[in-house]
Structure 1
Amino acid sequence: MSIKIFLPTNYFYVKRSCNLYGQLHISDDNVVVYYVVDVDDTNTDDSNKTATTTIMDRGECNHMRFLGAIQCSDSYADSKHCNAHDMMLCFTYNNESPNVSLMFTGITPENLNQIKLILYDKQIVRSLIIKGYNTLNHWTMRETSPRQINDECDFYMLARLVQPEPGAIRNKSEGLWFYGSQPLCLLANLPMQLFKYIVGNAVVNGIIMHTVIYKHYKEWQTIYAAGSRLTNIMIDRALGILLMLLLFTLASHPGDFLIQISHIIISQLYSLLKVLEGSPIGLKLNIHLNNFFLDCFKYHIELWSTFLDLIEPIVRQVFLAIGAFGCLGFTYQIALLADLISIVGLHAHCFYVYTKVLNNVGVKGLTVLWQVVRGNRYNILRNRIEAHNYMNRQLYLATIFFSAILFLFPTTLVYYVVFATLKALTFATLAILEFFRRKILNFPIEMFLKCVKKGFNEIDCLRVLDIPLQKQLYFNYRNSKIVIFVYKLQV
């Protein structure tokens, strides 16, 4: 039986009393592996047992167990001292030796034949890439079990254990210049707190519940609470503020832009209806039905144009709101722009709904009347089509209605295809905006920067090097010395 101990390199040369925390794993080939991940600079004397218990509780809360301690050789007594404190490992140090020495292990079988002490650098192990996933995002998930990754490779287990908690990542990120000062932090979060208060109002919440801006607000809050994309949030706010300054400084009347866009859309719809008024792409449309559609749609566009003229002052202020939303972030501006596109193109959506209903009625009518003309009917009880003897007047009326719908259907189909295409273009525009909005928040910028800086390392690039020591380390066990081989992980 053999023992492996993974110990951070700086702890191997430290000379102070501290507690060791990590995990224990026993592989299938009877190799006991100790993963030392963190320490606590608390004295572990007999008189300080309460403090040790407190540290153990804190280690359990961090999903790490108490493994042992590093003690001065003068304070180390014997194995009873370690067993009393529930230690599995105990290293000692003195003024003569430049490094610590292993003095006690919780597992000391008679056939213990090998002890390996492997020193590692936390930063190197945290930057590993395994199977295309970086350890930071792949192994911090609680539902991911170590055995689901690779139970036989110690480096997989170590890479998962040394990852910081999501809360620790967030606290570390908040040490950036943007969050380093409390006044700057309050100033940066003031617009978001104000928007959160407005959205929390019951009336406002009921109005904007189904908008893109509200949906994005929920997604933004989830990402911010997780603390895994704070760099993205900072870049998002910087881009939003930059665009806000450009709109307010370079554009003299930014509200006129939306008015011009609205009138351009209305004029283009008029042009589209004018094309449908004749014979589009050589199609012969029914004149009377075509004129009816044109009158209805033109009247609808005139109503919408009148409505835009009435709300023109409000529309001008909406563009200012898009600029002001830069304080929240560039993604909020994109979300508000998506809502604005949906509102401006509302009449086109209504045209699509109208023509879709008429097209469905035409298709259903032709399907049913075709069975009647053929002398068949659908038996709902037996769920099948069967022959049926219709009266002459029934066949006569069915033939008339079938012919009428058949000759009117091409006109309805043309209008449906035109406005369905217009609806698809609007949907594609909104989809592109949603894609950029989500990518700005979810794109792994930190990972990308690390890849550019060669901050990630493939696990196959790890090398285990033998460390030459001034004095060979031994583990004394029942009047026998077991050689301790010391290695170091490098890339």
Structure 2
Amino acid sequence: MSIKIYLPTSFYYLKKPTNLYGQVQINEDNVVAYYIVEAADLEFRDKTINHESSNMRFLGSILNDDFSADQNQYLKFNMRLCFTYNSSQSNISLVYIGITPEYLKHIKLILYEKQMMRNLFVSGKSVKHLPIEYDNNDSNDCDFLELSRLTQSPVETQNNPKTNTKKSLLYVLNIIADSPITMFKYIAENIFVNSIMVHTTIYKHFKEWQLTCDKRSCLANIALDRILGIILMLILLSLAAQPGDFLIQISHYVIDELYILLKVLEGSPIGLKLNIHLNNFFLDCFKYHIELWSTFLDFIEPLVRQVFLAIGAFGCLGLTFQMALLVDLISIIGLHSHCFYIYTKVLYNVERKGLSVLWQVVRGNRYNILKGRTESHNYMNRQLYLATIFFSAILFLFPTTLVYYIVFAALKALTFATLSIFEFCRRKILYLPIESCLKRLLKGCHDIDCLQIKDFSSHEKAFLIHKQQKINVTVYKITTL
């Protein structure tokens, strides 16, 4: 059996009669851990000493070296630990432990800072938010977690009038702050509205945001999201002049750029000789598509001008909701370019598959489905003739189709990259460890992986004499990397 005593560093140099309070825990590896957390002025009574201010247990005392006590006196006062001090030493010394079996050869006295353990983080979360059954294979980590829980500030009494007033005020403010999201939730879950917006980015984000709120694990992220959203809302609604015109200008700018792109493809782009007839067919088809889209934008222009007002109003919900709505707007603005990509992709896949099949026919081969292999086959002359004609036609048309496919695939990739950037920012705002970073900067919080136990330098080797036996007492201190 071994014993570990966790003692605050300030208590190690305490030189006045003091009672020590904390908890005792026996680990699975038969190690007894004493967690000393609190101290109070020394009071000897005829009965067992108890701590009435919290759930801490009385563990022992710090006494003057002149105090002469024997085993019976320690048991009378129900002491598990006893330290003494004198004028010649700067620190206290351990003179008695309640559990001293004959085979005990070593005792670890571990010093710690209460503020450091109180502000401990595990995997980006405060120890207060971790479940009690949180397990870790390292016994030191388990001791650190238990010590951090014990050193947390005591909870205020429920009957305190100031506490009740503060809770009531926070409850009212919480209802006011949650009213926009409650209204949006009621609208989004409506059967008719839900069938329309179930596939939109803003609805998917609403579900993710609601799940984050239910876990109550990223309150700082949600608060920052709301603050940034309100700031952007004020900018859009008050500082920007006619923000709806900006969206109209972007839409027409995209249309003009597509016209310029088609004009470049009309000739010989980068020296490529395209098929004239197929090229003209593509240009007529895409230009007609763009004209339809331009006419549609002109038709819904009064409605589009009010969209930025909707983006601003979504600032009550948060900046991430504005980003999600902006992603949907970009998808709508680039809908015609997405259609161009689908058209060229389908035609490209058809021609590529046709060339692959006709190439086997021209070579006199065919694919045997039953045997799962390519084997030779005797085709009739008319079959070879038709195959050669179609193969040649598709082969000469394929470069033109390939050029259009590459151009619109690149345009699609650019749009997807833009949307991915907004998606990345939106998710990071919700899941960045903002609370832990702020606490580490303001309060000096530390992650549990940064803690280490180092030997504490001492001029003399400490011993505890029990029944004429010397038990080593090694002093350590918990520090950070």
**Other-structure match for 2:6:** 6
| Mapped contact 1:231–1:446 kept (Cα < 8 A) | yes
Shift of residue 79, structure 1, vs aligned partner? 7.4
Cα deviations across residues 435-488 of structure 1 (Å, max 9, x unaligned)?
A: 1112222223344445656925684775454799xxx9979x789897877665
Equivalent in 132, 146, 150 of residue 136 of structure 2 = 146
Instruction: Say if 2:45 is the partner of 1:25.
Output: no
What residue number does 2:105 align with? 113
Instruction: Look up the equivalent residue of 1:20 and give its one-letter code.
Output: Q
Letter in 2 for 1:34: A
2:408 to 406, 416, 419: 419
Q: Once the two structures are superposed, what CA deviation does each residue of 1:392-443 show, in whole Å capped at 9, x if it has no partner?
A: 0000000011011111111111111111011000001001111111222222
Q: Deviations over 1:66-112 (max 9, x none)?
A: 9x544899xx9997998xxxxxx956899xxx99999775x553322
Q: For the residues of structure 2 that align with 1:344 and 1:292, how far apart are their CA atoms?
A: 24
1:124 to 116, 121, 132: 116
* Native 8 Å contact 1:375 1:389 kept in 2: yes
Segments of 5+ residues of structure 1 without an aligned counterpart are 56-65, 83-88
Indicate how the Cα distance of structure 1 residues 443 and 293 shifts in structure 2: closer, same or farther if over 3 A, else same: same
- 1:230–1:11 CA distance, 2 compared to 1 (3 A): farther
* Alignment partners' CA distance in 2, 1:142 and 1:366: 65
Structure 2 counterpart of 1:408: 397
Q: 2:314 aligns with which of 320, 325, 328?
A: 325
- Give the paired residue count: 445
Letter of the structure 1 residue corresponding to residue 6 of structure 2: F
Instruction: List aligned pairs for 1:48-447, cutoff 5 A.
Output: 69-70=58-59, 90=80, 105=98, 108-125=100-117, 136=126, 140=130, 145-147=135-137, 150-151=138-139, 154=140, 156-162=141-147, 181-447=170-436
Q: Aligned equivalents of 2:474 and 2:261: distance in 1?
A: 82
Q: Please, which moves more after superposition, 120-129 or 427-436?
A: 120-129
Mark the CA change 1:122 to 1:350 in structure 2 (over 3 Å): closer, same or farther: farther
Q: CA deviation at 1:290?
A: 1.6
Q: Which moved more, 1:455-464 or 1:205-214?
A: 455-464
Shift of the 407–487 alpha-carbon distance from structure 1 to 2, 3 Å rule, reads closer
- Which amino acid in the other structure matches residue 365 of structure 1? G
Contact 2:453 2:476 in 1 (8 A): no
SS at match of 1:435: helix
Looking at structure 2, the residues matched to 286 and 431 of structure 1 have their Cα atoms a distance apart, in angstroms, of: 36
CA distance in 1 between counterparts of 2:438 and 2:381 reads 80
What CA distance in whole angstroms lies between the structure 1 residues aligned with 2:396 and 2:268? 15
Contact 1:463 1:489 in 2 (8 A): yes
How do 1:456-471 residues align onto structure 2 when only pairs under 5 Å count?
459=450, 463-465=454-456
Separation (CA, whole Å) in 1 of partners of 2:303 and 2:210? 29
- 1:146 maps to amino acid: N
TM-score, normalised with respect to structure 2: 0.75
Going from structure 1 to structure 2, the CA distance change for 1:245 and 1:35 (only over 3 Å counts) comes to farther
Matches of 1:377 and 1:198, distance apart in 2: 59
Cα distance 1:383–1:198, how it changes in 2: closer, same or farther (>3 A)? Answer: same
C-alpha deviation, 1:145, in angstroms: 3.9
Partner of 2:159: none
Counterpart of 1:34 in structure 2 is 33
1:379–1:386 contact (8 Å) kept in structure 2? yes
State the alpha-carbon separation in 1 of the partners of residues 440 and 453 from structure 2: 17
CA distance in 2, matches of 1:459, 1:352: 51
User: Residue 225 of structure 2 contacts residue 320 of structure 2 at CA under 8 Å; is this kept in 1?
Assistant: yes
Residues 126 and 136 of structure 1 are in contact (CA less than 8 Å); yes or no, is this contact kept in structure 2? no
Q: By how many angstroms is 1:244 displaced?
A: 0.9
User: Which residue type is aligned with residue 157 of structure 1?
Assistant: C
Relative to structure 1, the CA distance from residue 368 to residue 194 in structure 2 (aligned partners, 3 Å threshold; closer, same or farther) is same
Residue 402 of structure 2 aligns to which amino acid in structure 1?
Answer: L
For 2:269 and 2:454, locate their aligned partners in 1 and report how far apart those are by CA, in whole Å: 72
Once residues 358 and 477 of structure 2 are traced to their aligned partners in structure 1, the CA distance between those partners, rounded to angstroms, is 83
Shift of 1:143: 9.2
Q: Is the 8 A contact 1:8 1:36 kept in 2?
A: no
CA–CA distance in structure 1, aligned partners of residues 191 and 463 of structure 2: 70
CA offset digits 1:327-365 (Å, max 9, x no partner): 111111111101110111111111101110000000000
Q: Distance in 2 between matches of 1:194 and 1:102?
A: 67
Q: 1:18, 1:69 within 8 Å by CA — same for their partners in 2? A: yes
CA–CA separation in structure 2 for the residues paired with 1:179 and 1:335: 33
> Unmatched 5+ residue regions in structure 2?
41-45, 63-71, 85-90, 157-162
Q: CA RMSD in A?
A: 4.8
Cα 1:260–1:179 change in 2 (3 A) is farther
